[in-house]
Amino acid sequence: MKYVAMIYGNQAKWDAFPAEAWPEAIAKQDAFNKKYRESGELIGAYGLADAAAAQLVRRREGLPVVTDGPYLETKEYLASFYLLDCESLERAQEIAADMPFADVEPVELWPVLHDAAADV
């Protein structure tokens, strides 16, 4: 079963994180990614740009209409997401709890209802 694990953030949170702590935080995240890629349970890990880089795309009269900014006016936004492939919900929960910052920030876990393979 596939699951999406999501971490939320905001600019104030990133700004408050000490610059000297970033190398260790990135190393912990890289170790997490490597561990679960090697087990075959992590399909992909994706860190997103700041919310200021987000765009909304709509279609009007067959053409794309693009506006700046995230859709919702909120302090928190999706910062990164992970695609997991696990034997059970319990295993997905164990992996989510093993994420480097899960002791201070929650990880949102969603079952993937439908999987449309990109290689078909």
Residue 116 lies in a domain: no
Task: Give the CATH number of the domain where residue 15 resides.
Answer: 3.30.70.1060
Whole-model pTM: value is 0.82
**Residues spanned by the domain of 85:** 2-111
- Which of 78, 79, 77, 83 shows the shortest CA–CA distance to 4? 83
Sign of CA pseudo-dihedral 108, 95, 90, 92: positive
Residue 119 lies in a domain: no
Q: Are strands 2-9 and 108-111 parallel, antiparallel or unpaired?
A: antiparallel
Looking at per-residue pLDDT, the higher value among 53 and 23 belongs to 23
Q: Are strands 63-68 and 55-60 parallel, antiparallel or unpaired?
A: antiparallel
**Tens digits of residue pLDDT in 62-112:** 999 998 876 666 677 888 999 999 999 999 999 999 999 899 889 999 999
Residue 103 lies in a domain: yes
Q: Which two tokens stand for residue 93?
A: 């929960």
